[in-house]
Amino acid sequence: MAGKPSLNSLPYEVRQTIYSLVARQTNSYGWRKGPAPSIAHYATVSREWQEEFVEPITFKVIHVTPKRLKSFCQIVTSPRRRAVVQTICFHVSLDKYEPHLDDEQETSAERHRSTEILTAALGTFFRVMTKWEKSDTSPLGLDLHLLVDSPSDTSTLVGRNGGPLVTGRALTSYLKLDLEAVSLPHIDIFSGFRCTGRHLQPTSVLAIVSKLQTLEYLDVELNHDSIRHRDVKQRNSFALGLQYAETVRVLSLRRPSPMLTPVPAPLKQPWSSFHAHMRAFSQQCESFEFDDCVDAVQFFTPFILGPGMMPAEAAPPKSQEAPFWARLKRLNIRNSYMMKAPYLRVASRVEALASVHNVLVAVGRAARRMPGLLFARVCQYVLTDGQLEWFVLTYEFHSGKAVVRTKGFVPGRLMVTAWRDSAADKGIKLLIHHDKNGTNAPEL
């Protein structure tokens, strides 16, 4: 009598179909609403199920805290398990605080305590990760997600999307590492790094990035472009320090969570060291995106100069040439021109629309110096008297064809010329479509 067939005797496609059906009935992909059986329960079916089906799902994203580092080391000792890990989320919890302190910033002593907690936790984590070899990790790469917050940071209030809001303290209390006390070893296993939760000072981000020797993807918050001395210093140090992140090819910059106090408008300094270093670094990127933490008008100033576009005194120094993005394939820009603090970049809607126009034209001109560009999205938002206007331009290149689509505005002659000339310079025919649903859409 023939023995009972094993799972491995089934064709690969059949096994994958079975795994897919089981995964849909569990909480493994996190899409189900309501209770669902854990995928871990199926590890007892057989050794084949555990190694081929359960572990690639359960170990794909691992959540670790300082207190769980020892068990983490015990669980992922085998090369087989390490090979299926794609993301390690290291969650550092700060001290709790009373509800009546929700809207107050941390005191000096509390900030010092938060710094101690973060510094000690990262030091321990990095020492643990030195035991991993590059050959242990997944071919897809290993991402590090650093989440730092307090259990008290979640407010009792509910936002518009139905999720809980964070407290004022969480929004206004920044974090930093004690750079004199921390000694992080170099690690070559992480290809991606992302920070969320409390805002981590950019110089502290750089201290971490400098130890990740094979980093390709960086997603961090950058201080809002205010004229406060601390913000200016941090931004300049961050932009200058990026030159040491030689392996990074994907850069995503986000502004911190909405500020609760008004911030003065930044000075117009398109040729400052910050913008010069950011332009220089972006030229090594394959993907580059930023929001309000960088002013697109100032970043793309080299392509805005011209009659009626910028004043004569805005001419670039001879040492600063227009950048050339030889590797760039993807560009994503989001800027706001809001008539309230802290986004006081402009004084009127007319000035805001002029800035939007300048950005859309400048990016079109800059595209000429992006020979490998496949996708670009430029979103500009204007808020006046409680009304939000949005202007979106999308560029896509596929199968030898390029298309520009616009929503919220009618593309004017200067803008059309900029994008068509850039396409023609690459030998590409460009089609331009604009959404005609907006009856009062301005021409830009």
Q: Could you report the per-residue pLDDT of 11-64, keeping only the tens digit for each?
A: 666 666 665 666 555 554 443 344 444 555 554 455 555 555 556 666 788 899
| Helix orientation angle between 202-209 and 229-241, rounded to the nearest 10 degrees | 20
CA–CA dist 257, 279 (Å, integer): 24
CA distances from 79 to 85, 345, 443 (A): 10, 52, 59
pLDDT exceeds 90 at position 251: yes
pLDDT reported for residue 18: 61
Q: What residues form DSSP beta bridges with 382? A: 337, 389
Rounded to whole angstroms, the Cα distance separating 279 from 331 reads: 13
Within 8 A by CB and 6+ apart from 410, the residues are 434, 441, 442, 443, 444
| Global model pTM greater than 0.75 | yes
Query: Does residue 347 lie within any of the structural domains?
Result: no
The answer to whether 401 and 414 are in contact (CB under 8 A) is no
Yes or no: say if 150 and 173 are a contact pair by the CB < 8 Å rule. Answer: no
Of 303-317, 359-373, 400-414, which gets the smallest average pLDDT?
Answer: 303-317
406 within some domain:
no
Comparing 337 with 29, which gets the higher pLDDT? Answer: 337
State the residue for tokens 């007892």: 44
The pLDDT of residue 435 is: 81
Query: Which range among 195-209, 307-321, 334-348 has the greatest average pLDDT?
Result: 195-209
Looking only at the bridges linking them, the beta strands covering 164-166 and 154-158 are: antiparallel
Question: What integer pLDDT is reported at residue 59 of this predicted model?
Answer: 72
Structure tokens at 89: 């989320």
Higher pLDDT, 346 or 298: 298
Determine how many CB atoms are found less than 10 A away from the CB of residue 230. Answer: 11
Distance, in Å, from the CA atom of 53 to the CA atom of 21, rounded to the nearest integer, reads 12
The pLDDT value given to residue 165: 72
Query: Is residue 171 helix, strand or coil?
Result: helix
Residues 442 and 151: their CA atoms lie apart, in Å, by 47
Within-domain flag for 434 = no
80-94, 158-172, 262-276: range with lowest mean pLDDT: 158-172
> By the 8 A CB rule, do 61 and 87 touch?
yes
Nearest to 427 by CA among 402, 403, 406: 402
Instruction: Indicate whether 146 belongs to any domain.
Output: yes
Is residue 415 within 8 A of residue 366, CB to CB? The reply is no
Cα-Cα end-to-end distance for the chain: 80
Is 50 exceeded by the pLDDT of residue 347? Answer: yes
Query: Is 406 a residue whose pLDDT tops 80?
Result: yes
Q: Chain-wide mean pLDDT for the chain? A: 81
How far CA 207 is from CA of 261, 362, 398, in Å, comes to: 28, 34, 39
Q: Does any domain span residue 442?
A: no
Number of H helices, E strands in the chain: 13, 14
Q: How many domains does the chain have?
A: 1
Residue 255 lies in domain: 7-328
Question: Is 80 among the domain residues?
Answer: yes
Does some domain include residue 369? no
Over residues 124-140, the pLDDT tens digits come to: 999 999 988 888 887 77
Q: What is the percent of the chain where pLDDT is above 70?
A: 75
Q: Exposed, middle or buried: residue 211 (CB in 10 Å: 0-12, 13-18, 19+)?
A: middle
For residue 105, tell me if it sits in a domain: yes
Neighbouring residues of 241: CB distance < 8 A, sequence distance ≥ 6: 202, 203, 206, 209, 210
User: What's the confidence (pLDDT) of residue 156?
Assistant: 67
Q: Note the pLDDT tens digit of each residue in 68-125.
A: 998 888 877 877 778 878 899 999 999 999 988 888 888 999 999 999 999 999 999 9
**What's the DSSP call for residue 179?**
T
- Cα(189)–Cα(211) distance, rounded to whole angstroms? 11
DSSP state of 182: -
